Copies of this chain bind each other. A is one copy, B any other.
């Protein structure tokens, strides 16, 4: 029996009852003979409440102080969790990100982990303790200031600690039963995936699947840490995410298609009437990059020969839309385009699976399924193991269901898949 890292999200520890339930689960792992390190998020809505307070005292809270404020949230949940475990007769100690040795860069509110030096965690484990660590937070190498890793950062804390401590597995407890072949709220027949490769999981996360963040999966892939995503409510086995198929488990089948993801959080900008000559596209995307906006898909139309003008479209998070429009308007004269069109009524559907590399029919089947469902395709983008299309937002749910059925992903059972937990 080796070391396991368990991570519990805010909905799992939303109140005293939740904390006590989680404490029992942790103690069970300890009783089973594991060394246990637990990463915990802030309770329920604590972080939102703290953000609200910050906005009341300052319209633009300073990054350093904002991080100091938010980290109070995990401090509360981790101390309570340690108390609840001790109340069950087991030894536990809680540690802040700084005490746990989570060293980051100095970018407040979205710091990156640059090192993990878990000496105090090792000492606590060697002393027979369960170690409880605050997720989402660290300390900057340069200034020794408290930093936070951005929303969802607790998953990254868990994987980083698992890597530094050479854990057997990083268990991510959440309020759903695992990773599904599609969002079960949209596709009633979505199936829970028993195992998915890190590579496919990365593409799903990049394509709108919310269960695991891209950064967390990327970290686990690099350090070869198996992740087990599962429900803190049901206790059922969830989804394993790892670089290789689990050892000796030949029943785990590497599906051609892992799943269908969708994303309605993006918008589309079209730059109309761009002179079709070298350097124009570069100028446009330089302006976007200088505004620190990440874009997703890019399509350039074939130039209309008569005018020698072309249109360039790209997608980006809706939240970045106004900033992008502003940045482009400023360069309008220099670039010499006609106008900008902004469209936030789009949706993206992505099909992900390493199997499509060796199955050339996948793309054709994908487009046929969409066509049969009467869904119009506006943009297309592909990688080796993913095809994404942009459609009208209103068509997204129907498109996801059609594709899910066409690729044989529907569960055999007619019963709805349980989407677990509190529904949060």
* Residues of A that sit less than 8 Å from B by CB: 16, 19-20, 23, 50, 53-54, 56-62, 64-66, 68-69, 71-73, 75-76, 78-84, 86-87, 92-94, 99, 120, 144
**Looking at the complex, which one of B59, B68, B69 makes contact with A87 (CB distance below 8 Å)?**
B59
20 A–B contacts from the bound complex (CB under 8 Å): A16-B57, A50-B76, A53-B76, A54-B79, A54-B83, A57-B81, A57-B84, A58-B86, A58-B87, A59-B87, A62-B83, A64-B93, A65-B82, A65-B83, A66-B79, A69-B75, A69-B76, A72-B72, A72-B75, A72-B76
Q: Is the CB of A56 within 8 A of B87?
A: no
| Identical copies of this chain, number | 2
Question: Nearest Cβ distance between residue A50 and chain B, in whole angstroms?
Answer: 7
Give chain B nearest CB distance to A53 CB in angstroms: 6
Other than A58-B84, A58-B87, A65-B86, give 17 A-B pairs with Cβ distance below 8 A.
Answer: A19-B57, A23-B57, A53-B80, A54-B79, A54-B80, A57-B87, A59-B87, A61-B83, A64-B93, A65-B79, A65-B80, A65-B83, A65-B92, A68-B79, A68-B94, A71-B75, A120-B144
Contacting residue for A79 out of B19, B23, B69, CB 8 A: B69
Please, which residues of chain B bring their CB within 8 A of the CB of A68?
A: 75, 78-79, 82, 94
- In the complex, the answer to whether B83 meets A66 with C-beta atoms within 8 Å is yes
Set of chain B residues within 8 Å of A23, measured between Cβ atoms: 57
Q: With A93-B64, A94-B65 in contact, do A83 and B71 touch (Cβ < 8 Å)? A: no
Q: Are B20 and A57 in contact (CB under 8 A)?
A: yes
* Complex: A59 Cα to B89 Cα, angstroms: 13
A166–chain B nearest beta-carbon distance, Å: 24
Residue in B57, B75, B93 whose beta carbon sits within 8 Å of that of A75 in the complex: B75
Tell me whether A57 and B69 are in contact (CB under 8 A): no
Max chain B CB contacts within 10 Å: which of A79, A92, A99? A79
